[in-house]
Amino acid sequence: MSGEVVVTTWFDYTCPHSHLGLQRLDTLSEELAFTIDRRPYLLRPDAPITGFLGQSHQAESQPSTWGLSVRRPLISLPEEKPGLEPFSSRSLSTVLVHEATACARELGREREFYLAVAMEYWERGADLESIYTLRMSAIKAKLDWRLMWLKLESGHYRAWVMEEHRAAVDRGVKGVPSYLIGEQLLAGDVSQGELRSALRR
């Protein structure tokens, strides 16, 4: 997607309104010219980061260590009545999946990776902290998983994700989804009509 207008969108993967909001922007991009600039915002910034960072590269080839863990998937997400997140945990950190998204962004496949992760989470109930989820999403997005693994294990994108979150807070973003369209900051469950009007202005 391209265009003179840039819509900066702060989102978190576990927020159903973020999921719906990005779907609405995707739909609008078919009729209006603009670029979606996805930025991380951590709904649980203090949640402990668990998962694979302490594991060796050997874990790549051992399915038993991928940590595949799912709950009953959210089969459908009604447009106006999003359900509860499918893999709900009050300690769930999304730092790692945002780091992986930053890697995909650098490699020019951010949208594809985002869509793959969103499908794994919202349709299949996958764990966002699982190596398996990130690996499968990377493969679906046609990304080099080995390169992503090396970047993630080194913590290459950690500072960027945390700084983006702090910068959003400093800018006045208090929750997700939030949209910056021109000088207008919109937040919450903004309808497709409201987004269209803001874009046209």
Could you tell me which residues come within 8 angstroms of residue 29 by beta carbon, excluding any fewer than 6 positions away?
A: 1, 36
Residue 188 carries which side chain, given as an amino acid letter?
A: G
Q: What is the pTM of this model?
A: 0.81
Residue-level pLDDT at 16: 94
Calculate mean pLDDT across residues 98-115: 98
Average pLDDT over residues 65-83: 41
Confidence of residue 87 (pLDDT cuts 50, 70, 90): low
Please, what is the average pLDDT of the chain?
84
Question: Distance between CA 62 and CA 65 in Å, rounded?
Answer: 6
* Torsion sign, CA atoms 54, 56, 61, 65: negative
Tell me the sheet residues that pair with 186. Answer: 179
- Tell me whether residue 154 is in a domain: yes
d(CA 101, CA 26) in angstroms, rounded, equals 17
Determine, yes or no, domain membership for 129: yes
In a domain, 3, yes or no: no
Neighbours of 33 (CB within 10 A): 11
pLDDT of residue 52: 55
90 has a pLDDT exceeding 50: no
Residue 76 pLDDT grade (very low, low, confident, very high; cuts 50, 70, 90): very low
- In CATH, what number is assigned to the domain containing residue 162? 3.40.30.10
* Per-residue pLDDT tens over the stretch 128-151: 999 999 999 999 999 999 999 999
Residue 29 lies in a domain: no
Query: Where in the sequence is the domain holding 150, given as residue range(s)?
Result: 94-174
pLDDT beyond 70 at 68: no
- What's residue 1's pLDDT? 40
- What pLDDT was estimated at residue 89? 47
Residue with more model confidence, 112 or 79 = 112
Q: Given a cut of 50, is residue 63 above it in pLDDT?
A: no
Flag whether pLDDT at 59 surpasses 60. no
Residue 50: predicted pLDDT:
72
Round to whole Å and give the CA distance between 150 and 113.
17
Output 109-118 pairs: Cβ under 8 A, ≥24 positions apart: 109/141, 109/142, 109/143, 110/38, 111/1, 111/36, 112/140, 112/141, 112/142, 112/143, 113/137, 113/138, 113/141, 113/143, 114/22, 114/38, 115/141, 116/140, 116/141, 117/13, 118/13, 118/19, 118/22
45 in any annotated domain:
no
Q: Specify if 71 maps to a domain.
A: no
Written as six digits, the tokens of 197 are 């009007």
| More confident: 153 or 65 | 153
Residue 81 reports pLDDT greater than 60: no
24 in a domain, yes or no?
A: no
* The pLDDT of residue 195: 97
Does residue 87 fall inside a structural domain?
no
Domains held by the chain: number: 1
